[in-house]
Amino acid sequence: MKIRTVILDHNKDYLGRILTFFQQQYGDKLDLFSFSENSLFYEFFENNKVDVCLVDSEIIIDESKISSQCAIVYLVDTREIENYKGRPTIFKYQKASQIYKEIINIASDKISNVIFRKNDTKVEIVVFTSAKGGVGVTTTALAFSFSKARSGKKVFYLNLETLGDTSLYLNGEGNMTFSDVLFNIKSRKSNILLKMEGAVKTDSSLVDYFESSRNPYDRLEMTKKDQEILIENIIQMKDYDYIVIDTSLILDDAFSQIIMNYATSVVLVSDGTINSNCKLSKLINIFKIWEQKIEQDILGRAYLLYNRYSSTCGKQLEGLPIKLLGGIQKFEKATDKQIINEISFMEIIKDMEFGGEWQ
């Protein structure tokens, strides 16, 4: 089911631009109809069901001719106007992609049982984690995301660290955060997918993501079932080539669910120190136990990436039952953003390919 949306505006140039953009970018999710004349606008409502109606605030309409099941929204010229005639508003001169997000947020409060088509592509879910903290899991996960997006792939970066803060590295438009996503997941409403897409932000790198929770405790309250709904809906949300999950190592049911049920590849990040190598060996043994329990291959999907590696205090383990991707040296006197950008251009990241779908 698509969201049927109608726009009434006397500015034909504006209608043409927004109609073209929406048809090209969101044609699979919106049925968009535009009118510059009131009479044709009313006539359309006589014979068609409409979910969302956008009307320029300078146009006077007879709302009684519009079904009560349709969400009426006024297009306004300034951001400061939040309500007009008791109806929600949308700033008409912002980016069309942001207008789209506001449309689906409004639609999700008005309608239910909205089902977008499931994508038929085989998305790769790459999990970045480590047995030891402070080795640059987020740095390498983001560098990988940037690199793949730069090559034309559609990438969603999902930070599941309890204290992670995406705003330190990514910047996109929108007011919703991961807290809003989790709230809607826990509500178990039928329009979760619609709400979730409204919370997606897009960084200048073209990587999609959710802004971190306002309160870190929201992440702690996410159950295994919540996580399942989250990941399944991200898979359906868009034809992503990669979903990159950045997560802390917490040996609970939620973490094991990601590794066992969703990860097509697991990148274990290590700095090669004695402490890191010791913990890595123990984690590999845990993976072996999980393999026996579920009778599925985990280590065959696991890869080792050395980061912040120094030959003076680091040592590469030999004979491990996982594939070695290579190593990234330690950077001195550089910010995290600079390091992420530098690493994203390295051949070790650009050439990082995995086995894809697994059974």
> CA angle, 230 as apex, 229 and 234 as ends, to 5°?
115
Where in 221-322 does DSSP place strands (E)? 242-246, 265-270, 302-309
C-alpha dist (Å) from residue 172 to 123, 190, 201, 231: 23, 27, 5, 21
Q: What tokens appear for 128 in the block?
A: 């970045």
Q: What angle do CA 96, 101, 106 make, to 5 degrees?
A: 125
Rounded Cα distance between 269 and 266, Å, is: 10
Residue found by looking up tokens 């940037």 in the block? 146
Cα 169 from chain centroid (whole Å): 15
With a CB cutoff of 8 Å and minimum separation 6, the contacts of 335 are none
- H or E element at residue 84: strand 83-84
Name all contacts of 184-189 with Cβ < 8 Å and 24+ positions apart: 185/226, 185/229, 185/230, 186/226, 189/112
Kindly report the CA angle at 32 between 187 and 58, in degrees rounded to 5?
95
Phi, psi of 193 (to 5 degrees): -60, -40
Instruction: Select from 355, 303, 346, 329 the least CA-distant residue to 144.
Output: 346
Taking each helix axis from N to C end, the angle separating 178-187 and 224-237, rounded to the nearest 10 degrees, works out to 110
Place of tokens 């912040």: 308
Six-digit token string for 294: 């579920």
Rounded CA-CA distance 180/158 in Å is 15
- Selection from 81, 73, 74, 70 nearest residue 58 by Cα: 74
- What is the distance between the terminal CA atoms of the chain, rounded to a whole angstrom? 30
Pairing relationship of beta strands 87-91 and 83-84 according to DSSP bridges = antiparallel
Q: Mean pLDDT, 10 residues at a time, over the chain (359 residues)? A: 87 91 84 91 88 93 89 92 91 88 79 43 89 94 97 96 91 90 84 86 96 86 91 90 94 89 94 95 94 87 93 87 93 91 95 64
Name the β-bridge partners of 243. 125, 156
Structure tokens at 19: 């109609």
Alpha helices in 111-191 (DSSP H): 137-150, 178-187
Phi, psi of 158, rounded to the nearest 5 degrees: -115, 110
